[in-house]
Amino acid sequence: MADYNLEITYRGTRLKHVPHPKYLGVTLDKTLTFKTHLTNVASKIDSRINIVQKLTGTDWGADSLTLRTSTIALVYFVAEYCFPVWLNSTHAKKVDIKLNQSMCIISGTIKTTPLDWLPDLSSIISPQHRRQTALLKLWSKLNNNTTHPIHEHSKFCNNLCIRRLKSRKPPWETAIKLNTAKYDAVQCLKDEWEKSELSNSSLIKNPTNKQPGFNLPRRIWKTLNRLRIGHGRVGHFMHKWGITPNPGCDCGAPNQNIDHIIRECPKRKFGGKLEDIF
């Protein structure tokens, strides 16, 4: 039945069957998983990320504040269009992957960076928290506007309507749960960071603020972040990626990692603690 094509005739003309119709910019499918729509959105985001990438030259590139503003205007504007419709889709990760890529560009970090670092270093709340915050704001706006037609459907407002597809998770159910739990994205971020077991996570006191160095030239900002997270183009990772034959340092040490460069390398060591750099 899933592949059944409807045969509908209107005034003697058979209507063309469209498996994925588009309504108000959202591509629909039979099971409302929004897989096709989110795949298209992810593809559209790619071209916009490429535009932002052009602004990231090491010597002349834009600073992090400019990159962040450009990313929100170009990338997030498309990525979050009609988000309440597909908020709970399992295919939302297709978009999240692209958004994580854009945060890597802002922070100057590499692909191996743990995802928990990206929102803190780019000063953009994680995609899921952004969507939940916006959803709760929209739900509150609808509730306060008593003239809105949605209030004519009491069953809908009271979350009593019967769902045609029980496996789907309608956005109003999510909004009600968030509202009941008094959801606060900022507090959730702080709680998640406190529970984080990331290396060097103690360097960041408040993950919701712009981190020190955010307004520095891109070359310094990029290097600073890679020291923070312990991931960069050093011998250890270059060997792991198959770029260099061994992970050693040019000073003679068998393994060149961030900690070695800061504390031990006679050619580059800072001589103090990692906290002192920041």
Q: Tell me the mean pLDDT in the region 151-159.
A: 58
Residue 5 lies in a domain: no
Q: What tokens appear for 21 in the block?
A: 């119709």
Same domain, 153 and 185: yes
Residue 47 lies in a domain: yes
What confidence tens digit (pLDDT) does each residue in 236-260 have?
989 988 998 999 988 888 999 888 8
**Which of 37-41, 110-114, 153-157 is predicted least confidently?**
153-157
Look over the chain and give the mean of its residue pLDDT values, rounded to a whole number: 85
Residue 160 per-residue DSSP state: -
User: Residue 140: pLDDT band by 50, 70, 90 thresholds?
Assistant: confident
For residue 157, pLDDT over 80 is answered with: no
Q: Are 224 and 134 in contact (CB under 8 A)?
A: no
CA–CA separation, 21 and 77 (whole Å): 22
For residue 176, pLDDT over 90 is answered with: no
Same domain, 210 and 88: yes
Q: Are 150 and 137 in contact (CB under 8 A)?
A: no
Rounded percentage of the chain residues whose pLDDT exceeds 70: 91
* Residue type at 124 in one-letter notation: I
Domain span including residue 268 = 233-277
**Which of 90-99, 143-152, 172-181 is predicted least confidently?**
143-152
**48: exposed, middle or buried (Cβ count in 10 Å: 0-12, 13-18, 19+):** buried
Residue 15 lies in a domain: no
Same domain, 130 and 200: yes
Same domain, 104 and 155: yes
What confidence tens digit (pLDDT) does each residue in 220-241 have?
899 999 998 989 888 898 998 8
Q: Tell me the mean pLDDT in the region 97-115.
A: 92
CA–CA separation, 89 and 85 (whole Å): 9
pLDDT at 147: 80
Same domain, 135 and 76: yes
Same domain, 134 and 228: yes
User: Residue 38: pLDDT band by 50, 70, 90 thresholds?
Assistant: very high
Residue 111 lies in a domain: yes
Residue 213 lies in a domain: yes
In the chain, the number of structural domains is 2
Residue 7 lies in a domain: no
Residue 202 per-residue DSSP state: G
Residue 149 lies in a domain: yes
Question: Which one, of 234, 222, 211, 219, lies nearest residue 108 by Cα?
Answer: 222
Of 208 and 152, more confident: 208
pLDDT at 153: 64
Same domain, 106 and 126: yes
Same domain, 255 and 192: no
Same domain, 82 and 48: yes
Q: Tell me the mean pLDDT in the region 144-156.
A: 70
Residue 182 lies in a domain: yes
For residue 9, pLDDT over 70 is answered with: yes
Same domain, 175 and 245: no
Rounded percentage of the chain residues whose pLDDT exceeds 90: 30
pLDDT at 123: 92
Same domain, 244 and 141: no
Same domain, 104 and 166: yes
Q: Tell me the mean pLDDT in the region 21-25.
A: 87
Do the bridges between strand 22-23 and strand 13-14 make them parallel or antiparallel, or are there none, so unpaired? unpaired
